[in-house]
Amino acid sequence: MLRFLWKLFNRPGFEGTPLSETSSKIGLHRTMEHFCNLPTVLLEGEEDTDKNKARFTKTPFNFEHTKTWFNHGGVIRTIGEKERGSGTYTSYFESSLVIAQNGEIEASPAVQERFLRLYFSKSDPNFNRDKAVNAGRIAQKGQR
């Protein structure tokens, strides 16, 4: 579904940015600055909680620091400019945030209220594989 939605924005073959690739807050903030009026899609990151498997373990992404982004004129980050004065550069949140993951978002109720949850499952009793195949055939005919 994400690939289809990205095709609508003329970005075929792109699914989103894995949280494991944005290994720091700065990396995530720079990723967020790339998009204006387009959704920023964050894919589920790999979590290694077993200390015997890896030297450095990854902690789950903390969504608490995204809380202020959704305020009007929400600031992603502020950095100092390279000059002699005390000037700063402020990045504003001008995007939407899509989080694609299998697990629940573990955050405070204030953060949970900012997200709309959509569940998709092929094990749903209302899912009919024949209807899905027919919809795919109709879509292929429309591309000709």
Whether residue 93 contacts residue 70, with contact meaning beta carbons closer than 8 Å, is answered with yes
Query: Looking at the domain assignment, is residue 37 inside a domain?
Result: yes
Query: Looking at the domain assignment, is residue 90 inside a domain?
Result: yes
Q: What angle do CA 96, 99, 100 make, to 5 degrees?
A: 135
For residue 3, the number of C-alpha atoms closer than 13 Å in the C-beta half-sphere is 2
Name the residue among 36, 101, 41, 91 with its Cα closest to residue 69. 91
pLDDT tens column, 54-98:
555 556 677 787 777 777 778 888 888 887 788 888 888 877 778
Query: Looking at the domain assignment, is residue 52 inside a domain?
Result: no
**Side chain identity at 138, as an amino acid letter?**
I
Name the residue among 41, 35, 46, 34 with its Cα closest to residue 16. 41
- How many separate domains does the chain show? 1
- For residues 108-113, give the mean pLDDT: 85
Return the pLDDT at 52.
52
Query: Looking at the domain assignment, is residue 133 inside a domain?
Result: yes
pLDDT tens column, 10-29:
777 777 777 776 657 777 77
The DSSP secondary-structure symbol of 132 reads: H
Range of the domain at 123: 2-47+57-143
